[in-house]
Amino acid sequence: MVRIRMKSFGRRHRPFFRICAMDARSPRDGRAIEELGHHDPMVRNVDARTVLNVNRIRYWLSVGAQPSEKVQALLTRYGVTKPAPGEDWKLPEPPAAAAAEPAATPAAPAAS
């Protein structure tokens, strides 16, 4: 069985975790099938503590991977849910921002 769980990194008094899809029989810091994000509880900005690859997490949930309790709490906090039966696990791409494209400006007259 595949589990989505945290892999411990960092050092004493400075924890850091990678969120990985791993075989349930592998050790805590063993080989991961795929790394899906990371969690740094020491970052002051709460929004920047966790970085998740939401599409890949939804894929692993759709094929039957079970999240650990702590990972499930993080997924709930960030609104990541298992796709419904028949629903595509990929989230739609957000439309490109119109502000990102440079506005059409009249060309300056060329000096001769």
d(CA 110, CA 54): 49
Residue pLDDT tens, the chain, 112 long: 999 999 999 999 999 999 999 999 999 888 999 999 999 999 999 889 999 999 999 999 999 999 999 999 999 999 888 888 888 778 877 776 555 555 555 555 666 5
d(CA 56, CA 36): 7
Q: Given phi > 0 = left and psi -120 to 50 = alpha, else beta, which region is 37?
A: left
d(CA 25, CA 9): 19
Q: Tell me which CATH homologous superfamily contains domain 2-81.
A: Ribosomal protein S16 (3.30.1320.10)
Q: How far is the first Cα of the chain from the last one, in angstroms, to the nearest whole number?
A: 73
Retrieve residue 75's tokens: 């997924």
Output the pLDDT for position 69.
94
